[in-house]
Structure 1
Amino acid sequence: MSITIKDVAKQANVSVATVSRILNNLPGYSDETQQRVKKVIEELGYQPNAVARGLINRKTKTIGVLVPNVSDLFASEVLAGIEEQAHEFGYSVMICKTNHDGKRTINYLQALYEKRVDGIIIVSEFITLDYYKTIETNKVPVVLVATESEYPLPFIKVDDYQAAYDATTYLVKKGHADIGMIAGTESDVISTTPRIEGFKDALNNVGITVTKEMITFGDFSFKSGIEGMKNLLKNYPKVRAVFCASDEMAVGALSLLYKKGISVPEEISIIGYDNTATAEKAIPPLTTVAQPLYKMGKDSIQLLLNPTLKINQRYPHHIAERDTVRAYSE
């Protein structure tokens, strides 16, 4: 049977209210009483209930995180930063996998509110009107990571348009003209649309006309990278360089090319997006657009707990050069 606050109060010969005040560092008791209660707590092995304590001080020291998929390396990098900073501040983290399911997301938002979390971080999700209404109704602080919203919610992300523009320009400067793109989810206006626009504008600005055969869609996953590379080889057979909208898709493309005996970068160059751990582990190591995922996760905790903190919402990116892009001058 678990030890309750009533057991502590009875053993220490004080009221439940006194034990509660001591646990929450509130005044109204002597030093002698405090020492006696703490000794009983230690002897009985009492573990205060965080939610019950939160009813008094309005803090549960818990943060909820909504993420579409916890298994991919993109999410892992962000979550690592979130958990590290939360731990440093004395907070625990509840991770909820939404799977891009609207009903599940609403249910999680409501459940986290009922558990009295001190704030919610939403990673890489499109914020619908229903999500926003739930957030507004519950009055729980929310910060977005790797996404943004038309609604007034604080966010942290890179400029996807500029990053895609820079990645495509990088390929052009290496001497490439026949460039394809494996884009993300077609309906994703937050990440996919600006990356496609950056890709198109970078090519249009150097006089290369972008046709529909040059772009195929996936869902940012490894498997969709394989399928995307198949589609490009079929529909755009002269392709000699590919910009992938995630490292996972880029590694999928590398896998498909390896199985077909097409060498990278000698025959086809590949550039990814994210600079997750998979980019360094790929064979050959993947050139990619680096965004500071771990730092974005850490800073989201700071922004959540201190909304007046001046954190730059648009984070810098750069090209992490490795071995999957050939320069024709070489």
Structure 2
Amino acid sequence: MATLKDVAKLANVDVSTVSRALNNTSYVHPETKKKIYKAVEQLSYKPNLLAKGLRQGKRHSIGVVMPSINLSIFGEVVQGIEIQARKQGYSIMICNTKDNPIVEQECLNRLRNGLVDGILIASTGQNARLLRDIKTSGISVVQIVRKQDKLFSSVVSDYYSCAYEAVKFLYQKGCRNIGFVNGALDIIPYQDRYKGYRKAIRECGCQELVTESRISKENFYKDGYDGVLQLLEHNPNIDSIMTAVDVQGIGVIRALKDKNIPVPNKVKVISLTGHSIGGMLETTMTSMEVPSKEMGEKAAKMIIDEIESNSPNGPALQHVVLEASLVERETT
């Protein structure tokens, strides 16, 4: 395994120069840096050894691991993280996993071997052992949006209540055939939403009409479009559709329009994870609004407090649950 001395020898510089270049602790001529970085690459010098030394001091950087930041609450969560981090003198590094556990693993390994003091993650739940190892190595870890492991602090929303309250709301509107286009049930929030939906449906004496997304990790819009068509095929009397996220709701609205089914007169639509885009559509969408920016700000503050804690064990674990609020718009 290559060492700093090996890098210094190949780059024909002193070990102290290599250390200064990699740590950015003082000026090193750009050409010299280029030689050092080339030597690091040639020797496959392991960054985790570097990171161990770097973490003796603070890098004031946070890794943010998200499944997506495109037209979802994750983008708004990241905004909240960045706002709070900047206030406290930290920068962020964003990794987009598409909910692929292999990609997530690669992202986590890059971050642990890089220049971050902590990691905020909306995890797939498939890399628990790696995350615990990262935590043990001295890098703070806080879960956001998804609480997959009780051993890490978390900031989430009450997804169970979102679904439960949405069903009750639709029932009060006179709906009796309430369909649900959900996400993949191997992800915690989708499990919680289904549990809330099922509980309320049973209390209302209605039939479960659910389609579980099979491609939600790739195309939420197509999930919504195809999902409502599947539900209508099995129950043409559906009078309302709940979707796990707004982009699914957009797909639902488009599919209903293509089938000449008017919204909301024939079928009402509600999203369980409100995003700002819902209020900008031609037919604005009713949603359970999740305080996504607040969630991001809270998680950023929690992880920075953990990073800067003087206690050997860090702050006590916190599991924060933020409530969503119903915003009625044109689709209901």
Other-structure match for 2:304: 305
Q: Within 5 A, what are the aligned runs for 1:126-141?
A: 126=125, 128-141=127-140
Q: Tell me by how many angstroms 1:98 deviates.
A: 1.5
Whole-angstrom CA distance in 2 between matches of 1:156 and 1:104: 23
Question: What is the percent sequence identity of the aligned residues?
Answer: 27
2:212 to 210, 213, 217: 217
Paired residues of 1:67 and 1:125 also in contact (CA < 8 A): no
Instruction: Name the SS for the 1:306 alignment partner.
Output: helix
Q: Which runs of 5+ in 1 are unaligned?
A: 1-14, 25-36, 45-50, 326-330
Does 128-137 or 228-237 show the bigger shift?
128-137
Whole-angstrom CA distance in 1 between matches of 2:72 and 2:232: 27
Other-structure match for 2:198: 200
Moved over 6 A (4+): 309-312
Q: Within 5 A, what are the aligned runs for 1:78-117?
A: 78-117=77-116
Other-structure match for 1:160: 159
One-letter amino acid of the counterpart of residue 315, structure 1 = L
Go from structure 1 to structure 2 and tell me whether the alpha carbon gap of 1:130 and 1:309 turns closer, same or farther (over 3 Å shift): closer
Paired residues of 1:60 and 1:116 also in contact (CA < 8 A): yes
One-letter amino acid of the counterpart of residue 217, structure 1 = E
Q: Tell me by how many angstroms 1:203 deviates.
A: 1.4
Instruction: Name the SS for the 2:179 alignment partner.
Output: strand
Write the deviation string for residues 54-86 of structure 1: whole angstroms up to 9, x where unpaired: 838611111101111232322211111111111
TM-score for the superposition, normalised by structure 2:
0.77
Go from structure 1 to structure 2 and tell me whether the alpha carbon gap of 1:255 and 1:209 turns closer, same or farther (over 3 Å shift): closer
Paired residues of 1:127 and 1:149 also in contact (CA < 8 A): no
Q: Within 5 A, what are the aligned runs for 1:13-28?
A: none
Instruction: Name the SS for the 1:313 alignment partner.
Output: strand
Other-structure match for 2:323: 316
Q: How many residue pairs are counted as aligned between the two chains?
A: 280
Paired residues of 2:81 and 2:296 also in contact (CA < 8 A): yes
Other-structure match for 1:169: 168
Whole-angstrom CA distance in 1 between matches of 2:319 and 2:66: 22
Whole-angstrom CA distance in 2 between matches of 1:67 and 1:257: 31
One-letter amino acid of the counterpart of residue 321, structure 1 = E
Does 293-302 or 83-92 show the bigger shift?
83-92
Residue 180 in structure 1 maps to residue 185 in structure 2:
no
User: Aligned Cα RMSD in Å?
Assistant: 2.7
Paired residues of 1:132 and 1:151 also in contact (CA < 8 A): no
Paired residues of 2:105 and 2:127 also in contact (CA < 8 A): no
Paired residues of 2:71 and 2:277 also in contact (CA < 8 A): no
Whole-angstrom CA distance in 2 between matches of 1:128 and 1:56: 22
Write the deviation string for residues 240-299 of structure 1: whole angstroms up to 9, x where unpaired: 011111111011100111122111000100000222122111221000011100110111
One-letter amino acid of the counterpart of residue 92, structure 1 = S
Go from structure 1 to structure 2 and tell me whether the alpha carbon gap of 1:176 and 1:116 turns closer, same or farther (over 3 Å shift): same
TM-score for the superposition, normalised by structure 1:
0.77
Write the deviation string for residues 298-317 of structure 1: whole angstroms up to 9, x where unpaired: 11110001144897601011
Q: Which runs of 5+ in 2 are unaligned?
A: 1-15, 31-49, 307-314
Q: Tell me by how many angstroms 1:149 deviates.
A: 2.2
Q: Tell me by how many angstroms 1:137 deviates.
A: 4.1
